[in-house]
DNA sequence: GCCACTTATGAAAGACACTTGCATAACTAT
DNA sequence: ATAGTTATGCAAGTGTCTTTCATAAGTGGC
């Protein structure tokens, strides 16, 4: 890694820079006429014209039909970002389902698929299910595989930088699976793997309860409670990808949250029992309400510890155990506040069980942006050459 | 704040870019001849020549005498970064002393001063002491005030983004002091204020035990234990500048660390008594060793909580209570490891009580770099115009 | 002390990108 | 149909970078 990436540049670097600026403006600021775009980007009209010509050749920009009658004078040609030039694919893998989300380059969801599978399914079967779900998702979205520019997958557990699941307690046999490498074979583009709580955090900041917050902690309450942190708007992974594994410290009450809700569980599937307790609590069943109270008391300390360490703008509660308006959220709010000197907003997820899949899409889009707006060499919009396997970042 | 700072650029932006790259290479990679520099930066020789001419006009680069006899052929002109073109000043304010560190633009310390003052000194007196110490430090370094390009000050307590001390328990009357504004009047350049533990973290990564680590937590053990975190190489402050105030949560054992060491304290100054206990423990006095053990047991949980939340590359222990090789460090290492699933390096500070002052210098230098290498407008090397008051970031 | 060799310098020519300015094209309104 | 308005296309001019070549200033051998 070079200590300073700013090497000298030819005149052609100027073009790359202006090209990137124009493309970004067109994507984020919406379509427009040549003169409008020139003004918005801060370039002259002839330059903008040249840049747009290049971008059209690369297939990233398309020309719309002019609109006669839109005003005085000669109608202007209109240009727009070709959102369907490429696609991002997000996968959410957990113990019981596989969810695939397909989005275009602006992040608009264009299709997807959900597949259910047995909690006890071995890794080989689970990965096969992912491949099948991807196929179904692509068909649903009418997207060809070769237009995929990046893929990201979320999984419970600790994910190493190379995309290996270092440890995972909730999916049998999942520890040690080289997920990025396994999935990489199926795609002609980079494949990223990331912890599910981290992806949920990305999603909540993108389109959920934490829109535009810079420092966000997302608590993903499920069988095992994980945490994802966005600090300064960027995902914090930690040295070993293990950031947020605060569930390990017993004092902080985030371990085995589901089990805590159902202390005297039947041998059957734990999760359904936990959901039943939450439903009972909502209906006012005293025993169930007590159980929720106990859980809130335990979790509050863990959340407070995180809030004290990070001083985030807000904490988003997500995962299967949280439902909007649930008593658990109110209870946590009440118990965490007195433990923290600075005010922390605590909100329930707005995305429900789509958060991880959406977060995966966001991560894939970030990877695409990295390539699309890089300045050191002309970005390739041709994914066929790539055969990368990598974890996030 | 603009959503995307990349606006279009003239040809002149290319020059600014290459100018910045050359300056950076000259500073970080050391002096060299014209051709060497051209090769290092990746530019042609004539371009490099032009850029160096500009940089010399701005006073940032100087020409050395050629060295005859250094090799075959015509001796090349040599260029070097003018480290003394400007200076950074760091201030470390705590309950009992004021420390001033003066450094040149490469970060080399060129002078400083330490002043002692009463713990009970009121804010007005303390700020006067800072001004006097600055004066003495500048004289010691033979640096004129107008060559200061940035100043940073560290203080215990929570510091708001505008440089106000929001809360501070260890310096009487310090809460509410608008430190950045007060100090700003004395300097013709930006004045930043930052929490002392945060600055210690910066220093340890710069020149201390955490060199080149990207994710570092620095525990500053003093009357009140604070924490500074560098995540992804950047300071993490939190929404209210309160990140790391984990001492608030009693379970985590980082509150009133000094008091814990001296449970049955005399009414006199607490700090000396704590230091005596540590010295006794080093000499093997049983009661003192027990006290250290108790303290270690308490702190270990707080440190483990931070390690679990952040998964840092390493934890650096600093502050007056830590001395290199002290039993406290070994004891903490032994107790934290079993609580953390991923291995965490725990090291004692290499900088001792200079860490905060050095960190302040680093912060000031970062502020200088921001201005020196900005691309949207030609950087001003003339500080006389500025009258900024600001907090860090 | 002179000559060949080596390396740096300085100036000129060419390429690339951006800007300004003007004549022309296309559409609306009267 | 004509005037007014806005967009377009082309040309001229400027700034920056690169390549190339003749020249300057040293070293080492004879």
Tell me the average pLDDT across A326-346.
84
The alpha-carbon gap from A137 to the nearest alpha carbon of chain B, in Å, equals 32
CATH of the domain spanning B85-199+355-385? 3.30.420.40
Residue A391 is predicted with a pLDDT of 46
Task: Look at the domain A86-199+355-385 and name its fold.
Answer: Nucleotidyltransferase; domain 5 (3.30.420)
- CB contact burial B339-352 (16+ within 10 A = b; e otherwise): bbbbebebbbbbbe
Task: Return the pLDDT at A1.
Answer: 36
Question: Rounded to an integer, what distance in angstroms lies between the CA atom of residue A279 and that of residue A3?
Answer: 55
Predicted TM-score (pTM) of this structure: 0.89
DSSP state of A223: S
Task: Please check the confidence at residue A37 and state whether its pLDDT lies above 70.
Answer: yes
More confident residue, A318 or B340: A318
Rounded Cα distance between B74 and B34, Å, is 13
Asked if the Cβ–Cβ distance from B309 to A13 is below 8 Å, we say no
Domain ranges in chain B with CATH number 3.30.420.40? 85-199+355-385, 210-350
Cβ of A24 within 8 Å of Cβ of B6? The answer is yes
Q: Judging by DSSP bridges, how do beta strands A216-220 and A226-231 pair with one another?
A: antiparallel
Lowest mean pLDDT among A85-99, A360-374, B205-219, B319-333: B319-333
Task: Give CATH 3.30.420.40 domain extents, chain A.
Answer: 86-199+355-385, 209-350
Q: What b/e sequence results for A9-35 when a residue is b if at least 16 CB atoms lie within 10 Å of its CB, and e otherwise?
A: beeebbebbbbbbbbbbbbeeebbbbe
- Mean pLDDT is highest, among A68-82, A270-284, A313-327, B270-284, for A68-82
Helices B286-310 and B270-283, interaxial angle, to 10°?
100
* Residue-wise pLDDT tens digits, A128-153: 999 999 999 999 999 999 999 999 99
How far is CA B376 from its chain centroid?
27
What contacts A120, CB < 8 A, 6 or more positions away? A172
Tokens (6 digits) for B124: 């007005």
What angle do helix axes B196-207 and B355-372 make, rounded to 10 degrees? 80
Average pLDDT of span A166-190: 93
Q: Which of residues 15-44 of A touch strand C (CB under 7 A)?
A: 15, 17-18, 42-44
pLDDT at position A389: 43
A69 Cβ contacts chain D strand, under 7 Å: no
B55 touches chain A (CB under 8 A): no
Each residue's pLDDT expressed in tens, for chain B with a length of 393 residues: 333 446 778 899 999 999 999 999 999 999 999 999 999 999 999 999 999 999 999 999 999 887 766 678 788 889 999 999 999 999 999 988 999 999 999 999 999 999 999 988 999 999 999 999 999 999 999 999 999 999 999 999 889 999 999 988 889 999 999 999 999 999 999 999 999 999 999 999 999 999 989 999 998 887 777 889 999 999 998 887 777 766 665 556 556 666 667 766 666 667 777 778 888 888 888 888 888 888 888 888 888 888 888 889 999 998 877 765 577 888 889 988 888 877 889 999 999 889 999 999 999 999 999 999 988 765 555 544 443 445 444
CA distance B356 to B112: 13
Is some CB atom of chain A closer than 8 A to the CB atom of B239? yes
Q: Residue A16, CA: closest nucleotide via C1'?
A: C17
- Which range, of A21-35, A46-60, A222-236, B324-338, averages the lowest pLDDT? B324-338
Strands A148-155 and A87-93: parallel
A314, A350 in Cβ contact below 8 A?
A: no
Mean per-residue pLDDT, A197-206: 95
Burial B6-22 (b: 16+ CB within 10 A, else e): bbbbeeebbebbbbbbb
Q: How far is the CA of B71 from the C1' of D30 (A)?
A: 21
- Residue A163 backbone phi and psi in degrees, to 5: 85, 20
Regarding the domain delimited by B210-350, which CATH topology (the fold level of the hierarchy) does it fall under?
Nucleotidyltransferase; domain 5 (3.30.420)
Backbone angles phi, psi at A231, to 5 degrees: -115, 125
Two tokens, residue B357: 């002052």
For B266, the token pair is: 């005399």
- The residues of chain A that CATH labels 1.10.10.10 are 11-81
Whether the CB of A175 is below 8 Å from some CB of chain B: the reply is no
pLDDT in the model for residue A224: 72
B62 touches chain A (CB under 8 A): no
- Two tokens at B147? 């060559």
Q: What topology does CATH give the domain B11-81?
A: Arc Repressor Mutant, subunit A (1.10.10)
* Total Cβ atoms within 10 A of residue B327: 17
Q: What is the pLDDT of residue B259?
A: 67
Q: Which of B44, B226, B239 to mutate to test the interface with A (most CBs of A within 10 A)?
A: B239
Rounded average pLDDT over A69-97: 90
Cβ of A249 within 8 Å of Cβ of B342? The answer is: no
**B40, B25 contact by CB (below 8 A):** yes
Nucleotide nearest to A9 (CA to C1'): D17
pLDDT-based confidence at residue A284 (cuts at 50, 70, 90): confident
The pLDDT value given to residue A385: 39
**Residue A4 binned pLDDT confidence (cut-offs 50, 70, 90):** very low
Q: Which residues, including other chains, have CB under 8 Å from residue A272's CB and lie 6 or more apart?
A: none
Give the pLDDT score at B265: 62
What does CATH list as the number for A209-350?
3.30.420.40
pLDDT for B1: 36
* Contact of B227 with B253, CB cutoff 8 Å: no
């Amino acid at each position: 890694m070079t200590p300073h990436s700013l090497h000298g540049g030819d005149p052609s670097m100027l073009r790359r820079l202006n090209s990137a600026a124009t493309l970004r403006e067109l994507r984020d600021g919406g379509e427009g006429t040549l003169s409008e775009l020139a003004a918005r980007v801060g370039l002259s009209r002839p330059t903008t014209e040249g840049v747009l010509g290049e971008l059209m050749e690369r297939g990233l920009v398309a020309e719309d039909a002019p609109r006669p009658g839109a005003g005085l004078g000669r109608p202007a040609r209109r240009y727009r970002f070709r959102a369907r030039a490429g696609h991002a694919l997000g996968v959410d893998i957990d113990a019981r389902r596989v969810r695939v989300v397909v989005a275009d380059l602006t992040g608009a969801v264009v299709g997807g698929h959900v597949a259910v599978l047995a909690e006890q399914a071995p890794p080989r079967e689970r990965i096969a299910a992912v491949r099948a779900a991807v196929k179904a998702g692509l068909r649903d979205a009418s997207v060809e595989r070769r237009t995929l520019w990046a893929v990201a997958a979320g999984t419970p557990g600790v994910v190493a930088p190379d995309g290996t699941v270092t440890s995972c307690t909730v999916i049998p046999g999942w520890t040690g699976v080289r997920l990025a490498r396994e999935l990489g074979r199926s795609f002609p583009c980079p494949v990223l793997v990331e912890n599910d709580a981290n992806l949920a955090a990305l999603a909540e900041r993108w389109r959920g309860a934490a829109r535009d917050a810079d420092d966000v902690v997302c608590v993903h309450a499920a069988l095992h409670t994980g945490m994802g942190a966005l600090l300064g708007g960027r995902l914090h992974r930690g040295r070993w990808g293990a950031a947020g594994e605060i569930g390990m410290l017993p004092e902080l009450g985030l371990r085995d949250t589901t089990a805590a809700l159902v202390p005297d569980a039947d041998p059957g599937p734990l999760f359904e029992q936990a959901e039943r307790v939450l439903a009972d609590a909502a209906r006012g069943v005293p025993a169930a309400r007590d159980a929720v109270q106990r859980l809130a008391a335990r979790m509050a300390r863990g959340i407070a510890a995180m809030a004290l360490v990070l001083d985030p703008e807000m904490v988003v509660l997500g995962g299967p155990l949280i439902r909007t308006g649930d008593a658990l959220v109110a209870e946590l709010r009440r118990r965490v506040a007195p433990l923290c000197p600075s005010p922390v907003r605590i909100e329930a997820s707005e995305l429900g069980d789509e958060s991880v899949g959406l977060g995966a899409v966001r991560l894939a889009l970030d990877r695409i942006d990295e390539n699309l707006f890089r300045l050191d060499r002309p970005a390739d919009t041709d994914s066929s050459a790539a055969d990368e396997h990598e974890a996030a970042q």
